[in-house]
Amino acid sequence: MLSFWSFQQLPAHLRAEAANSLYYEAQSRTQDPVYGCVGIISLLHQQIHGVESQLAKTKAEIAVLNSLAQEPAQIQENEVEASFNHFLLEQDNIASGQYFSHSTCIPSNFM
């Protein structure tokens, strides 16, 4: 804490800011007698860390979306191929008598 003597040792252009800092610390001590402005600073550091984490997550999501946007034809081709393979598998199951429809099984004793 600044005493009157150390306050006088400050350059004149810094005295007003030092007085404001002392006032702010005194006000903070009335709200939080244990931590004062240090508690507020700690809370602000936690908030900054949380926002930085969220920013990093958002940047990663943007990077993923950008990479997906660069290869839409390949992704669409893979989806079409997977759908076609699924269709062929269903047709094979129907032809072999394992399925009556997409989801209804025909018991073997009815064949």
Q: Are residues 91 and 105 in the same domain?
A: yes
Instruction: Provide the domain limits for residue 10.
Output: 1-31
- Buried/exposed code over 59-86 (b: 16+ C-beta within 10 A; e: otherwise): eeeeeeeeeeeeeeeeeeeeeeeeeeee
**Per-residue model confidence as pLDDT tens digits over 7-30:** 788 898 998 999 999 899 999 999
**Per-residue model confidence as pLDDT tens digits over 66-76:** 887 776 666 66
pLDDT at residue 102 in the model: 43
Q: Which of left, alpha, beta for 97 (phi over 0: left; psi -120 to 50: alpha)? A: left
pLDDT at residue 82 in the model: 75
pTM of the model: 0.49
Bridge partners, residue 99, by sequence: 105
Q: Are residues 54 and 87 in the same domain?
A: no
| Number of other residues whose CB lies within 10 A of the CB of residue 106 | 13
Q: How many domains does the chain have?
A: 3
